[in-house]
Structure 1
């Protein structure tokens, strides 16, 4: 992780965002239509560390005013990408453009970018107000403007009255807000957040996600967050870039990434999923019919590049499966309808708001189905070793060819 800037060093410099900056991309209902202007562009960017390629010929556009998440497992290159944008790393090849300007030769403290580190990197000997004011003092802003900016930031992050405290006198959530206020105090064009909520407990992390979303909408500043937490990215981001081995596996809105993954890897990384292997037996304008090794037939709606005879994988999310018990799950002599299988409940996970059932089919295939707990779990009528029938509609399945 990058170290904190010591009080004797020159801090990052920023400029105020455009007055007409607006949020970009898909956003929550009721908000303004977002700009399509590009704020950040990675153009064929590569970064190597010895024999390891951390970022491999990557292309990415991030829009002005967008909340963008870089999501992926450890070592996928997402933090390296963020550090190159901040200026702490330099690409071995390619260009990084900020508002259309190539920033390769611009040092970190001259870029209109600020970074909030995972460790927060607060100065322990300074008060909350002193931490927020640090960069502003280095820029030699007038005292009245610094005081006004501090008051503005304290209101923004809801820390009014705590300006005189030291970091050790604050809770983890309050320290996180101080770090955020310090990063925003200089009005950067782009705010970079490296695992910003990792140090918080689950409940506080969930609350802070919505606070960050509301704050970003209010400021209309471009936020770029790095996280390995899928739920965090899905909750906060307008768009997500899913990274794997230094490359972007897919870029899209949370709903696109979840509902229409482009590969088996993306489907498996984002949320929980069932995979059904099979061969395309029929194809038409409405979708394809697939037969698995056990002779079961599955119908998937929607366009696909797969043709008859191709080996494909069906991806079906557990919540898309309908679970039937009793006589509906009893075996019959007639073939089961398409997208319908019967199996035995092998395990149950009670998760409070939902229950997850692991169902073993006759051939050993394991499928997972989740059911919302509208009633107590003991009233669900499903128990270990029960026979159940699972089914799903054709539009719930995604055909994967990669």
Structure 2
């Protein structure tokens, strides 16, 4: 793992509302969370992103108090909450299952936690009314959960979790049960809600698009470690490891060796050719690296382009038409498969090239990212 997982920007919040300090959690011989340190700012929408089993949910559950770390400290607003029971922590958590009480109405579900805390009736009624208005369910107060759609049940769970005004709101795969169109709509609703309330939201997800859409910053987890933290643009455009580059979106990777470096430009010899790549990090001749290039940064040509740098030749192996763009799979002369994606700005763009056509690919020196192998 990099020594500085916060990334090159180094923009850790100066006064974090949440701080994980070298937190470790083991289950027998298995280490679910491995010495994770992370600061999350006030009013920040933060996403923990990673595949199943990477430790992201365990980290969230430790913050909520449902798990206790074996090592390290968890500070919430400057107070170490390790050992503190969940009900004493100023956080609330929304689960993937929503966990609504089927025998209670929508209003009863939202009011449940407030009654448990001993709020008086008039304050409960006012708060429930406010929360249902916030999630646009005022007309559904007297319905039962089985009378609601999946999206409406999700909003009830959201209102119930927010009713007690937590300092930090935790969301564990909250949109997983929704269909894609509703999930996309709900993402923007959550963003608007978070901005309106000014709370810190921490969401756990394995969905890259979800994290990239909603989060101010993303923490990418792999095998219990935090491997990179940054804005969505930093994570996508400047992956710090090969694993992050492959996990986030589509990527073309060319393994090679640095032949020369000077003036911020590295020449890398690979099995597919010699490439010039802009590099912010110092490298030297002989270093093993891989050149990472996103498909949308690869241009495709019918004829050999006039520029000679970073040009590849091959044959179109397959074409995927996705409406807004077409994805071309091209088999290079050395047998390697490369992807290029092209926006369909022309109505007939998808018919310009065909499977089996010879073609050329090219990418600019600043389109590639150099990753140490």
| Same fold by TM-score greater than 0.5 | yes
- SS of the equivalent of 1:69 reads strand
Give me the whole-angstrom Cα distance separating, in 2, the residues matched to 1:315 and 1:302: 12
Give the match for residue 184 of structure 1: 162
- SS of the equivalent of 1:38 reads coil
Is residue 148 of structure 1 aligned with residue 148 of structure 2?
no
Give me the whole-angstrom Cα distance separating, in 1, the residues matched to 2:233 and 2:321: 26
Give the match for residue 356 of structure 1: 327
Superposition map of 1:81-230 within 5 A = 81-230=59-208
Report Cα offsets for 1:267-302 as digits up to 9, x if no partner: 0000000001111111012221111135x2211113
Superposition map of 1:275-354 within 5 A = 275-294=253-272, 296-325=273-302, 327-328=303-304, 337-354=308-325
- SS of the equivalent of 1:374 reads coil
Report Cα offsets for 1:356-400 as digits up to 9, x if no partner: 100001110111000111133565411101111111111110000
Give me the whole-angstrom Cα distance separating, in 2, the residues matched to 1:177 and 1:305: 49
Structure 2 residue runs without a partner (length 5+)? 1-11
- SS of the equivalent of 2:138 reads coil
Report Cα offsets for 1:194-250 as digits up to 9, x if no partner: 000000000000000000000000001000000000000000000000000000010
1:274 pairs with 233, 252, 255, which one? 252
Give me the whole-angstrom Cα distance separating, in 2, the residues matched to 1:291 and 1:192: 46
Deviation at 1:143, TM superposition (A): 1.3
Give me the whole-angstrom Cα distance separating, in 2, the residues matched to 1:374 and 1:142: 60
Deviation at 1:35, TM superposition (A): 6.8
Question: How many residues are treated as equivalent by the alignment?
Answer: 362
Give the match for residue 373 of structure 1: 344
Deviation at 1:351, TM superposition (A): 1.0
Cα 1:250/1:35, change in 2 over 3 Å: closer
Give the match for residue 238 of structure 1: 216
Report Cα offsets for 1:94-125 as digits up to 9, x if no partner: 11000010001210011100000000000000
Give me the whole-angstrom Cα distance separating, in 2, the residues matched to 1:76 and 1:228: 10
Structure 1 residue runs without a partner (length 5+)? 1-33
Runs (4+) off by over 3 Å = 376-380
TM-score (norm 2): 0.95
Deviation at 1:90, TM superposition (A): 0.3
TM-score (norm 1): 0.88
Give me the whole-angstrom Cα distance separating, in 1, the residues matched to 2:351 and 2:216: 36
Are the equivalent residues in 2 in contact too, given 1:355–1:377 (CA < 8 A)? Answer: no
Report Cα offsets for 1:113-171 as digits up to 9, x if no partner: 00000000000000000000001111111211111111111111111110000000000
Are the equivalent residues in 2 in contact too, given 1:350–1:377 (CA < 8 A)? Answer: no
- SS of the equivalent of 1:234 reads helix
Are the equivalent residues in 1 in contact too, given 2:316–2:356 (CA < 8 A)? Answer: yes
Are the equivalent residues in 2 in contact too, given 1:316–1:396 (CA < 8 A)? Answer: yes
Report Cα offsets for 1:51-101 as digits up to 9, x if no partner: 100001111111111100000000000000000000000000111000010
Cα 1:368/1:379, change in 2 over 3 Å: closer
- SS of the equivalent of 1:215 reads helix
Give me the whole-angstrom Cα distance separating, in 2, the residues matched to 1:135 and 1:291: 62
